[in-house]
Amino acid sequence: MSTELGSKLAAPDMAGAWLREQILAHLTTPKTWEHDRNAYVSASTVYRCQRALKYSQTRDAAEWAGNGFTVRGDTMEEWLCKVFARIEREFRVIQQQDIWFTAIGDRQETLRDEALRISATPDGFMRLGDTGEVVYLEIKSIDPRVVLNDPKPAHVAQCQFGMELCHRLDHSKPQRALLIYVDASDYADITIFEIPRDPVVARELLRRAQLTHAARTYRDLPAEGLAAGGAECSDCALRDECTAERAATIGALDPDKPAMAADLLDELDDLARDRVTAAITEAEAKRSKEALGDRIRNILEEHGTSVAQTPGYKIRYSVTKGRESFDREAAEADGLDLSPYLRRGNGFPRLTVTENKD
């Protein structure tokens, strides 16, 4: 057996860097599916930006090899399925109550409507034998920093889409779903939302799926992520293209069009007032965050420590490496002509709202 690897990793810092690279490369085991997922709109993708979804369907599925969030979810689901088994044993064997969990863990099944080319893979079903009710289960691992006052809209849509597919296939007739959030840092921190089936919402989601399939290319669909503020656009391959397209659309708008109708002006006035109020609240929250951070830093410095472990948090005070910067003025002062290397980025939408002072 070759000894080249051992010699290579003997160098300082090489072993850790190599192992990290290998862990990331082997982080997930490629899943195999009985169907071509790119040919379907699934419950987990139906709420995505339609343009991004259509684009993803045209790409080679092999380009995506999973990520840490996927592993986190799979690991948590595997653990929760073992908990379901203990619950079932407790109630069926000891308490003689007819309840069981089906299609969970490695027994999950993908439901497909071939006519509409839609699919869903529920995380399981909870079946209540005395009433015959089947409850749809959707499991999500959640970042501990997220405040869950309400379920995430995309996850609600996933439940609604999955329940609708169950009805269409006569697989089961769930009238409600349980959306289960498990804190990724504390598996005992569980929040469950009950999602009643809503056929109206389901029909709208089916319409979205049909529009996605009907589009010839992704450019025929709206850039919903950008229109919604761009939060989901940060790692999208279409971000620059969509931004440039929207900037061109904004540039073509006519600032001198006739005045709007009174009802539209009233609506805009309400929206602008709410936006200004939200901006004030955001600024106050930022100031509060900085003040709290200063107090934490002061306490650590006074006690001569850079690390603290509280009952609820790990606190670390450290120095990051400074960012490298380019001193343009110094370069030009030295006679360097930088103009051949300058590139202007795409314009981007900017909305300005200021209050009338008169």
CA distance 136 to 166: 9
User: What integer pLDDT is reported at residue 95 of this predicted model?
Assistant: 81
User: What integer pLDDT is reported at residue 29 of this predicted model?
Assistant: 66
pLDDT digits (tens, 9 = 90+) for 204-222: 999 999 999 999 998 888 8
Distance of CA 231 to the CA centre of its chain: 9
Mean pLDDT in the chain? Answer: 85
Using 50, 70 and 90 to split pLDDT, how confident is the model at 62? very low
User: What integer pLDDT is reported at residue 348 of this predicted model?
Assistant: 65
Using 50, 70 and 90 to split pLDDT, how confident is the model at 358? low
**pTM tops 0.75:** no
Residue 2 has pLDDT above 60, yes or no: no
User: What integer pLDDT is reported at residue 346 of this predicted model?
Assistant: 67
User: What integer pLDDT is reported at residue 3 of this predicted model?
Assistant: 59
Instruction: Record the tokens describing residue 348, joined without a space.
Output: 């981007």
Work out the angle at residue 277's Cα, subtended by the Cα atoms of residues 271 and 282, and round it to the nearest 5 degrees: 125
- Asked if 349 and 247 count as a contact pair (C-beta separation under 8 A), the reply is yes
Using 50, 70 and 90 to split pLDDT, how confident is the model at 32? low
In percent, the amount of the chain with pLDDT more than 90 equals 30
Distances (CA, A) of 66 to 26, 28, 30, 234: 10, 6, 8, 18
User: What integer pLDDT is reported at residue 61 of this predicted model?
Assistant: 44
pLDDT digits (tens, 9 = 90+) for 131-171: 889 999 999 999 888 888 899 999 999 999 999 999 999 98
Average pLDDT for residues 229-246, to the nearest whole number? 81
Strand partners, 101: 126
Residue 286 has pLDDT above 90, yes or no: no
User: What integer pLDDT is reported at residue 59 of this predicted model?
Assistant: 64
Decide which of 336 and 346 is more confident.
336
Average pLDDT for residues 54-63, to the nearest whole number? 66
CA distance 304 to 38: 56
CA distance 212 to 173: 26
Residue 78 has pLDDT above 50, yes or no: yes
Decide which of 30 and 162 is more confident.
162
User: What integer pLDDT is reported at residue 1 of this predicted model?
Assistant: 46
Distances (CA, A) of 278 to 6, 209, 271, 283, 350: 58, 34, 10, 9, 17
Distances (CA, A) of 103 to 81, 98, 138, 171, 193: 10, 17, 12, 12, 20
User: What integer pLDDT is reported at residue 164 of this predicted model?
Assistant: 96
